[in-house]
């Protein structure tokens, strides 16, 4: 799981990543996609409301991610970013996407079923 946070950290440093944070339509598409393909009650995707996204890990999840990152960082090509820098990026991403949503509020309707699941 820590590799996904590492990916977000790296994306945040790119022009494409910075642009994605400002693209409200892309965010809406991500929520819709997640609801369509990964909509399980334990994922609580109903609460994925623009302006209240929780990206940064909290509590015991931070320690678990740190252990996972320490165990898997050898798989990263080149210099591996510091884990604390990854956490800081997750905080910045969460703050930014929620601020973007607040500037242009709208709700995401329920996902329609996927044609392959019918």
DSSP states along 29-93 = HHHHHHHHHH--GGGTGGG--TT----S--THHHHHHHHHHHHHGGGSSSSPPPHHHHHHHHHHH
**pLDDT at residue 4 tops 50:** yes
Domain count, the chain: 1
112 falls within a domain: no
What's the pTM?
Answer: 0.76
- Work out the average pLDDT over 96-112: 64
pLDDT, tens digit (0-9, with 9 covering 90-100), for 11-24: 999 999 999 988 88
Average pLDDT value for residue range 38-64: 85
Q: Is residue 116 part of a domain?
A: no
Residue-wise over 33-45: b if at least 16 C-beta within 10 A, else e?
Answer: eebeeeeeeeeeb
118 located within any domain:
no
Higher pLDDT, 52 or 77: 77
Domain span holding position 55: 2-107
Q: Is residue 113 part of a domain?
A: no
């Amino acid at each position: 799981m820590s590799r996904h946070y590492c990916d977000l950290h790296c994306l945040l440093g790119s022009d494409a990543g910075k642009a994605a944070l400002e693209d409200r339509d892309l965010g809406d598409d991500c929520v819709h996609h997640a609801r369509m393909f990964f909509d399980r009650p334990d994922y609580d995707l109903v609460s994925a409301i623009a302006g209240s996204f929780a990206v940064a890990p909290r509590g015991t999840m931070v320690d678990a991610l740190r252990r996972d990152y320490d165990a898997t960082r050898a798989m990263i090509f080149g210099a591996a970013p510091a884990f604390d820098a990854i956490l800081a990026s997750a905080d910045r991403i969460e703050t930014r996407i929620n601020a973007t949503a607040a500037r242009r509020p709208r709700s995401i309707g329920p996902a329609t079923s996927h044609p392959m699941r019918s």
